C-alpha cells in the first residue's frame, strides 16, 4: 500500500516511521532541502515554509515531548532551544532510516481523488521538482504540512492602520530584536510568540506595550518545586480530578491554580471570561518585566492614528513607532480541493481532529492540526499510529456510529468539557476566538491509544508491576506509557518510564551537595495504593 506523506517536519517524520512499522510504503515529499519543518531555523523567510526566530525554545519538556520509542539524550536541556530539537529530529530520522523515503526539493502541487475513488480510495498526486511536474497514484495520503505558513493579518479589524506612518509587520517576519532599538513598540496579540517578542524587544526598545483584548493565563516553564510544568500538571491523577469534578468546581480549581504564581488581575492579564480555559502562555519573564515597567499591558486596539494608537476604554493616545501583529495563522491546504477539507472560521471539520468527515473512504488524514495542552510530538505520533492502522484495515474505530453520523451530516460532534477537557466550539463566538482545535492532552492520547489497543491499564499493572503502576498513575504521563503493550510495543518502555526523572534532572543537577535529596518527587507506597484504590471508585 503506497502512502504519500506531505512534509518532513515533526508530523511527516513520525508518519513515515509509522507507515514503515505497519508495512506500508511511504513516500515523503518535502519542498525544502532538509527535514525539520518549523524547527529548522533559516535567516531568510521562505515562501510556503514556517518561519521562527532563533531564540525559540520548546514549551513542553523533553520527557513529555519525546517520540514514544525514542527518548531524548539525558544531557539535553529540559526545555530545548530550536537547534537542539532539530538535532533530535535528525537523530530520529537517522535511527529509523527515514531519509531514504524522503524526496527533498519536491513540492506537492495538487491532490485529487482518482475517478474510481469510491471503490479504491486512491488519490492522484501531482508534484513538482526542478521545474518538472510528475503525476503519481497513491493508496492513501497523510497531510503533515503544518499550519504556520500562511499568516493571518486582519488589517480590516484595525481602523486607521492605513494612515499609520510607522512600521508594522506580522510576527512571521520577526527574526532579531535589533529592529526595535530605541523604538516604541506595540505587540498586538498575546500568544506565545507575542509574549516572546515583547520580552526580547524590551531589552533594546524605548517602550514595549502588549495589546490584548481577552487576556490570557500565564504559566512558567519552571513549576512547583522547580519541576517542569507539564510533568506536574499532565498526570493521570490530575486528569482524573479535572474530569471527575463538577464543571464549576473544576474551573474554580484551575483558576485558583493558575493564580498561585501571581494574581493575573493585578497585572492586567486576567482573561475576560475567566470560566473559559484558553491555551495558556508559557513564559517565565513576563510577570517580572511587567513589575519592572519594561512591558505594559493594554486592552484591545480601538484605532490607529498617524503616529499613535488608541486603546479601548483608554481615552489618551499612545505614541508608537513599530507594530508587531501576533495574530496567528490561517489553516490552509493549497494543494487540496476545498471540497476535501472544509475550513470555516479557521476551523476544519475533522473526525477526532484527523479524518475529513465526508469522504466515502478514510484514506486521507490531516496530522498535527490540534493544540493540546502538552507536547505536540507525541500527539502527532499517536495520530500517525492510529491512521496507519486505519489505512491497513486493522481495528481503529473509524467506522464507528459516531464517524458515520459525522460523515452523513457533515458536522463535527464536538465533545463536551468532561470528554475532552476544553469547552465546546459550538458557538460562533468561541469558534472564532479559538483558531485551532484544542483538547486535553492526556484524554485525547488515551482515546486514540484505545483505538489501537495501546492504552496502558493501570489496574492490570497494579497486580503485575506495582512500582510501574504507581509511577504511571501519579507521575507524569510520558509518551513511553503508550509503548508498554499493544501494536508497536517497545521493550525499553518500562525502563524509560522508571528513569524519566533521572533524564530530567541530569542536565540541571550539575552540583550535588553531600546531603542531597532524592532525584525525583517521592511517593509513599502505602498512601499511593490507598489513593489509587480510591481513584478506582471513580471508574477511570
φ and ψ of 438, to 5 deg? -120, 150
**pLDDT for the residue 424:** 29
**pLDDT for the residue 248:** 80
The DSSP call for residue 267 is G
Using CA atoms, how far apart are residues 532 and 534, in angstroms rounded to an integer? 5
Q: How many CB atoms lie within 10 A of CB 347?
A: 20
Q: Which of 289, 292, 290, 316 is nearest to 302 (CA)?
A: 316
Checking if the pLDDT of 72 tops 70, the result is yes
Kindly state the average pLDDT of the residues 16-34: 97
Checking if the pLDDT of 49 tops 50, the result is yes
Compare 534 and 267 and report the one with higher pLDDT. 267
Checking if the pLDDT of 196 tops 50, the result is yes
Which one of 246-250, 442-446, 526-530 scores highest in mean pLDDT?
442-446
**pLDDT band of 410, cuts 50, 70, 90:** very low
- Assigned superfamily of 153-220+261-327: FAD/NAD(P)-binding domain (3.50.50.60)
Using CA atoms, how far apart are residues 65 and 441, in angstroms rounded to an integer? 11
Checking if the pLDDT of 530 tops 80, the result is no
**pLDDT for the residue 445:** 97
Compare 530 and 104 and report the one with higher pLDDT. 104
**pLDDT for the residue 485:** 95
For the chain, percent of residues with pLDDT exceeding 70: 85
Q: Is the CB of residue 176 less than 8 Å from the CB of residue 262?
A: no
Q: Is the CB of residue 82 less than 8 Å from the CB of residue 107?
A: no
Checking if the pLDDT of 524 tops 80, the result is no
Which one of 33-37, 401-405, 417-421, 509-513 scores highest in mean pLDDT?
33-37
- The Cβ-side half-sphere exposure at 263, using a 13 Å CA radius, reads 2
Q: Is the CB of residue 304 less than 8 Å from the CB of residue 160?
A: yes
Kindly state the average pLDDT of the residues 320-348: 86
Using CA atoms, how far apart are residues 408 and 538, in angstroms rounded to an integer? 35
Residue 502 neighbours by CB under 8 Å, 6+ apart: 74, 519, 520
Give residue-wise pLDDT tens across range 459-514: 999 999 999 999 999 999 999 999 999 999 999 999 999 999 999 999 999 998 87
Q: Where in the chain is the domain with CATH 3.50.50.60?
A: 2-149+330-405, 153-220+261-327
Least confident of 61-65, 113-117, 274-278, 316-320: 274-278
Compare 221 and 251 and report the one with higher pLDDT. 221
Kindly state the average pLDDT of the residues 291-305: 97
Cell (9 digits) for 34: 532538509
**pLDDT for the residue 536:** 54
DSSP β-bridge partners for residue 124: 112, 137
The structure's pTM equals: 0.89
**pLDDT band of 518, cuts 50, 70, 90:** low
Using CA atoms, how far apart are residues 33 and 42, in angstroms rounded to an integer? 12
Give residue-wise pLDDT tens across range 87-100: 999 999 999 999 99
Least confident of 174-178, 367-371, 415-419, 439-443: 415-419
Give residue-wise pLDDT tens across range 128-173: 999 999 999 999 999 999 888 899 999 999 999 999 999 999 999 9
**pLDDT band of 395, cuts 50, 70, 90:** low
Domain 2-149+330-405 top-level CATH class: alpha beta
Q: How many helices (H) and strands (E) does the chain have?
A: 18, 24
Residue 300 neighbours by CB under 8 Å, 6+ apart: 211, 212, 213, 311, 312
What CA–CA distances, in Å, run from 538 to 215, 401, 471? 35, 26, 19
Query: Between β-strands 347-348 and 343-344, what pairing exists: parallel, antiparallel or unpaired?
Result: antiparallel
φ and ψ of 407, to 5 deg? -65, -35
Using CA atoms, how far apart are residues 177 and 199, in angstroms rounded to an integer? 10
Checking if the pLDDT of 418 tops 50, the result is no
**pLDDT band of 243, cuts 50, 70, 90:** confident
Mean pLDDT for the chain overall: 87
Q: Which of 440, 469, 479 is nearest to 64 (CA)?
A: 479
101, burial (CB in 10 Å: exposed 0-12, middle 13-18, buried 19+): buried
End-to-end CA distance of the chain: 38
Compare 315 and 100 and report the one with higher pLDDT. 100
**pLDDT for the residue 242:** 83
User: b or e along 365-389 (b: 16 or more beta carbons within 10 Å of the residue's beta carbon)?
Assistant: bbbbbbbbbbbbbbbbbbbbbbbbb
Amino acid at each position: 500500500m503506497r502512502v504519500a506523506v506531505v512534509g518532513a517536519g515533526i508530523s511527516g517524520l513520525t508518519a513515515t516511521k509509522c507507515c514503515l512499522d505497519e508495512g506500508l510504503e511511504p513516500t515523503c515529499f518535502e519542498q525544502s532541502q532538509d527535514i525539520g519543518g518549523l524547527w529548522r531555523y533559516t535567516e531568510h523567510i521562505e515562501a510556503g515554509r514556517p518561519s521562527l526566530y532563533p531564540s525559540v525554545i520548546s514549551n513542553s519538556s523533553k520527557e513529555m515531548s519525546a517520540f514514544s520509542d525514542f527518548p531524548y539524550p539525558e544531557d539535553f536541556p529540559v526545555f530545548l532551544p530550536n537547534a537542539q530539537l532539530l538535532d533530535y529530529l535528525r537523530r530520529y530520522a537517522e535511527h529509523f532510516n527515514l531519509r531514504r523515503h524522503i524526496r527533498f526539493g519536491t513540492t506537492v502541487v495538487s491532490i485529487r481523488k482518482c475517478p474510481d475513488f469510491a471503490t479504491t480510495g486512491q488519490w492522484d498526486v501531482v508534484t513538482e521538482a526542478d521545474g518538472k511536474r510528475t503525476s503519481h497514484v497513491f493508496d492513501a495520503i497523510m497531510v503533515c504540512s503544518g499550519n504556520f505558513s500562511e499568516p493571518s493579518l486582519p488589517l480590516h479589524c484595525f481602523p486607521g492602520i492605513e494612515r499609520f506612518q510607522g512600521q508594522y509587520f506580522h510576527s512571521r517576519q520577526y527574526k532579531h530584536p535589533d529592529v526595535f532599538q530605541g523604538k516604541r513598540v506595540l505587540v498586538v496579540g498575546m500568544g506565545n510568540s507575542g509574549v516572546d517578542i515583547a520580552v526580547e524587544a524590551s531589552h533594546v526598545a524605548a517602550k514595549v506595550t502588549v495589546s490584548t483584548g481577552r487576556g490570557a493565563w500565564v504559566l512558567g516553564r519552571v513549576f512547583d518545586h522547580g519541576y517542569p510544568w507539564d510533568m506536574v500538571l499532565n498526570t493521570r491523577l490530575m486528569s482524573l480530578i479535572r474530569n471527575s469534578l463538577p464543571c464549576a468546581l473544576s474551573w474554580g480549581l484551575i483558576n485558583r491554580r493558575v493564580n498561585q504564581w501571581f494574581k493575573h488581575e493585578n497585572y492586567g492579564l486576567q482573561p475576560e471570561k475567566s470560566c473559559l480555559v484558553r491555551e495558556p502562555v508559557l513564559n517565565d519573564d513576563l510577570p517580572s518585566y511587567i513589575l519592572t515597567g519594561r512591558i505594559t499591558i493594554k486592552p484591545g486596539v480601538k484605532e490607529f492614528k498617524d503616529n499613535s494608537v488608541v486603546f479601548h476604554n483608554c481615552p489618551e493616545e499612545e505614541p508608537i513607532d513599530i507594530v508587531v501583529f501576533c495574530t496567528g495563522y490561517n489553516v490552509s491546504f493549497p494543494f487540496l480541493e476545498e471540497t476535501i477539507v472544509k475550513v470555516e472560521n479557521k476551523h476544519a471539520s475533522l473526525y477526532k481532529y484527523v479524518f475529513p468527515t465526508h469522504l466515502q473512504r478514510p484514506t486521507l488524514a490531516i496530522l498535527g492540526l490540534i493544540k493540546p495542552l502538552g507536547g505536540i510530538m507525541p500527539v502527532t505520533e499517536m495520530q500517525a499510529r492510529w491512521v496507519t492502522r486505519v489505512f491497513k484495515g486493522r481495528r481503529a474505530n473509524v467506522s464507528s456510529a459516531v464517524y458515520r453520523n459525522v460523515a452523513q451530516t457533515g458536522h463535527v460532534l464536538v465533545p463536551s468539557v468532561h470528554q475532552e477537557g476544553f469547552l465546546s466550539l459550538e458557538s460562533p463566538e468561541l469558534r472564532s476566538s479559538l483558531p485551532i482545535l484544542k483538547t486535553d492532552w492526556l484524554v485525547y492520547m488515551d482515546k486514540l491509544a484505545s483505538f489501537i489497543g495501546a492504552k496502558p491499564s493501570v489496574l492490570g499493572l497494579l497486580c503485575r508491576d506495582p512500582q510501574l503502576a504507581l509511577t504511571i498513575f501519579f507521575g507524569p504521563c510520558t509518551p513511553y506509557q503508550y509503548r508498554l503493550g499493544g501494536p508497536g510495543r517497545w521493550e525499553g518502555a518500562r525502563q524509560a518510564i522508571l528513569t524519566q526523572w533521572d533524564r530530567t534532572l541530569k542536565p540541571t543537577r550539575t552540583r550535588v551537595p553531600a546531603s542531597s535529596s532524592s532525584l525525583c518527587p517521592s511517593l509513599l507506597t502505602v498512601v499511593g495504593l490507598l489513593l489509587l484504590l480510591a481513584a478506582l471508585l471513580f471508574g477511570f
